[in-house]
C-alpha cells in the first residue's frame, strides 16, 4: 500500500492530567501516516484521486486544539477516528502524538504515543 506522510504538525492544546496543563495548555506535535492507493492520482495528476494534505491538517487540528482530554492516548484515538470517518480513501492511518516538554519530574525531550487504526477495525 502507498503512504502519505505528514510530519511534525504543530498545535497548541489543553490536554493533560495536571491542572496546569488544562489551564495553561502546551504544544503538541503530530506525525501522520496515511495508507491509500496513490496510483490513479500519480497517473492522472488529479487532486480528487488522492487525499488533500491541508484537509488532513485541519482534521488533526480540530481534535488537538479542541475539547481537552486527559490522556494523549485518547487524543490520538480521536484524531484517527476523525481522519478515518472523513476520508474514505484512507485505508489505515498511523498517528504519533508527541507532547514536548511534559510537566513531569526529570529531564525529558518529549513523550509520545503511536497508534495504528484502519477502516475495518
Q: What is the H or E stretch that residue 80 is in? A: helix 72-86
Q: DSSP string spanning 13-46?
A: E---SSHHHHHH-EEEEEEEEEEE--HHHHHHT-
Active site residue 99: yes
Question: How many Å separate Cα 70 from the centre of its chain?
Answer: 16
Write down the catalytic residue from 39, 70, 96, 99. Answer: 99
Dihedral sign computed on CA atoms, order 31, 36, 39, 45: negative
By annotation, the residues acting in catalysis are 99
Amino acid at each position: 500500500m502507498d503512504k502519505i506522510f505528514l510530519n511534525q504538525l504543530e498545535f497548541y492544546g489543553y490536554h493533560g492530567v495536571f491542572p496546569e496543563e488544562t489551564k495553561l495548555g502546551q504544544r503538541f506535535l503530530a506525525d501522520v501516516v496515511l495508507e491509500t492507493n496513490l496510483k490513479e492520482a500519480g497517473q492522472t495528476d488529479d487532486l480528487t484521486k488522492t487525499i488533500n494534505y491541508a484537509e488532513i491538517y485541519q482534521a488533526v487540528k480540530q481534535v488537538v486544539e479542541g475539547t481537552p482530554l486527559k490522556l494523549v492516548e485518547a487524543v490520538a484515538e480521536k484524531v484517527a477516528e476523525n481522519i478515518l470517518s472523513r476520508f474514505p480513501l484512507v485505508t489505515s492511518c498511523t498517528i504519533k502524538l508527541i507532547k514536548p516538554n511534559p510537566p513531569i519530574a526529570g529531564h525529558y525531550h518529549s513523550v509520545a504515543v503511536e497508534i495504528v487504526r484502519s477502516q475495518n477495525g
